């Protein structure tokens, strides 16, 4: 295996990337950025809007690109976090790169060596290894690498974390590895600097398991994690566009009484569930006077329409109560979001908007009812 030079945690010299064919003149840091293919252009605009020195150097897949910046890593990450991007779903710093051979026994050793040069985990602290293998053909999987590297750091006295909760709430050390064809990239960062607790949407999805009512169930779970929302499960939750009932089930499992609004049928198991009251009508037609502790809305409507419906029921939501809403963005994504925000801001603080791994042509917003 050919190995190029890597730098010790100071990543503001990325000349090692020359070894894998990337010109780095005048550039100080490099990243692998992940976005939804549908939002590729808007993600590109979003990142260049806050850092005009960003250069898209190499597509890795339809949802990952290698970018370089003239800004040093710390400055870039600080600004990015301040901007709170909507369409960039994940960022991995590139601190080392080189070539693999395609033989597990050799590659796992080389990748561990590359990681050893950049990882700086305090003894006894928690860490996670996140590996992605892009474009098949390798006789091993990302998991094989994660297990090997993870065991090595476990044997050094560190604590491997397999819990999304740890990664989200404790800001733990993340060792990131991406193998693209014969090229590997490695990075080391705090989980909060990566914008998302995991780099790999397929892995997030796979975790949801088979007991789901709908794929949407894990979309709500991802939204709660990404927005760091801890639901207390007290009181009544309104679920607009509830069928077949994935979100209603998640909320009922938290302990809420759920008012599930949808003209379509819920999953038969849920129609029998006493925790869920199915209101078989359109959201525009419901007459409610029950105070609400939480509103969720996955109706898949255009943002302006969603904004109006959300505002009409806002008076029922307790002061400071939360709402989680998906906004469908068929085109003009940024403008549509701005229009929706302008409407929603009459009644809510728009806390955050993110393109989640489970979102396709939509984004998910976290709202908080303004206190009167």
Binding site for ligand SAM (CB under 6 A): 213-214, 216-217, 240-247, 261-264, 282-284, 298-300
CB of 34 to ligand SAM, least distance (A): 23
Tokens encoding 300? 């898949």
Of 112 and 216, nearer to ligand SAM (C-beta) is 216
Cα 107 from Cα 179, distance rounded (Å)? 10
CB of 343 to ligand SAM, least distance (A): 17
CB of 219 to ligand SAM, least distance (A): 7
CB of 191 to ligand SAM, least distance (A): 27
Of 96 and 244, nearer to ligand SAM (C-beta) is 244
CB of 14 to ligand SAM, least distance (A): 42
Helix (H, G, I), strand (E, B) or coil at 108: helix
Cα 361 from Cα 77, distance rounded (Å)? 26
Of 186 and 260, nearer to ligand SAM (C-beta) is 260
Residue 164 neighbours by CB under 8 Å, 6+ apart: 197, 198, 225
Of 22 and 240, nearer to ligand SAM (C-beta) is 240
Residue 142 neighbours by CB under 8 Å, 6+ apart: 131, 132, 133, 177, 179, 200
Of 41 and 284, nearer to ligand SAM (C-beta) is 284
Cα 335 from Cα 13, distance rounded (Å)? 37
- The number of beta carbons lying within 10 Å of the beta carbon of residue 225 is 19
Of 71 and 278, nearer to ligand SAM (C-beta) is 278
CB of 77 to ligand SAM, least distance (A): 33
Residue with tokens 């974390």: 161
Longest alpha-carbon distance in the chain: 68
Tokens encoding 173? 């050390």
Of 77 and 213, nearer to ligand SAM (C-beta) is 213
CB of 351 to ligand SAM, least distance (A): 20
Task: Give the number of residues written for the chain.
Answer: 372
Residue with tokens 């009644």: 347
Of 173 and 262, nearer to ligand SAM (C-beta) is 262
CB of 368 to ligand SAM, least distance (A): 20
CB of 226 to ligand SAM, least distance (A): 16
Nearest-10 crossing angle of helices 216-226, 246-254: 50
Cα 352 from Cα 337, distance rounded (Å)? 12
CB of 213 to ligand SAM, least distance (A): 6
Of 257 and 282, nearer to ligand SAM (C-beta) is 282
- The number of beta carbons lying within 10 Å of the beta carbon of residue 280 is 13
Residue with tokens 């600097």: 193
Q: Strand pairing of 64-69 and 55-61? A: antiparallel
249 phi and psi, to 5 degrees? -65, -45
Could you give the angle at the alpha carbon of 40 between the alpha carbons of 37 and 43, nearest 5°? 130
Of 33 and 204, nearer to ligand SAM (C-beta) is 204
């Amino acid at each position: 295996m050919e190995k190029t030079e890597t730098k010790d945690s100071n990543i503001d010299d990325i000349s090692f990337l020359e070894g894998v064919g990337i010109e780095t003149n005048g550039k100080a840091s490099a990243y692998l950025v992940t976005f939804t293919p549908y939002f590729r252009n808007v993600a590109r605009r979003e990142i260049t809007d806050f850092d005009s020195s960003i250069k898209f150097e190499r597509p890795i897949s339809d949802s990952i690109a290698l970018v370089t910046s003239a800004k040093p890593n710390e400055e870039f990450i600080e600004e990015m976090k301040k901007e709170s991007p909507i369409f960039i779903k994940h960022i991995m710093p590139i601190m080392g790169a080189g070539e693999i051979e395609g033989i597990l026994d050799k590659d796992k050793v080389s990748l561990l060596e590359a990681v050893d040069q950049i990882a700086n985990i305090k003894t006894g602290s928690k860490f996670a290894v996140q590996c992605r293998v892009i474009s098949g053909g390798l006789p091993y999987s990302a998991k094989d690498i994660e297990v090997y590297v993870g065991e090595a750091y476990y044997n050094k006295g560190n604590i491997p974390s397999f819990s999304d909760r740890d990664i989200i709430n404790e800001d733990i050390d993340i060792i990131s590895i991406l193998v693209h064809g014969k090229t590997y990239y490695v990075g080391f960062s705090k989980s909060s600097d990566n914008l998302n607790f995991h780099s790999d949407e397929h892995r997030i999805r796979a975790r949801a398991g088979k007991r789901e009512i709908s794929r949407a169930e894990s979309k709500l779970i991802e939204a709660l994690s990404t927005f760091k929302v801890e639901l207390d499960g007290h009181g009544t939750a309104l679920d607009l566009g509830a069928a077949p009932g994935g979100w209603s089930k998640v909320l009922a499992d938290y302990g809420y009484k759920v008012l599930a609004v949808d003209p379509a049928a819920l999953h038969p198991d849920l129609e029998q569930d006493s925790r869920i009251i199915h209101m078989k009508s359109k959201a525009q037609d419901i007459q409610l006077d029950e105070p609400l502790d939480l509103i969720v809305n996955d109706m898949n409507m255009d943002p302006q329409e969603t904004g109006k419906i959300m505002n009409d029921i806002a008076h029922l939501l307790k002061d400071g109560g939360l709402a989680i809403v998906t906004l469908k963005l068929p085109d003009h994504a940024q403008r549509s979001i701005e229009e929706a925000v302008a409407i929603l801001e009459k009644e809510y603080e728009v806390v955050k908007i993110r393109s989640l791994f489970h979102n396709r042509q939509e984004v998910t917003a976290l709202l908080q009812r303004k206190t009167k």
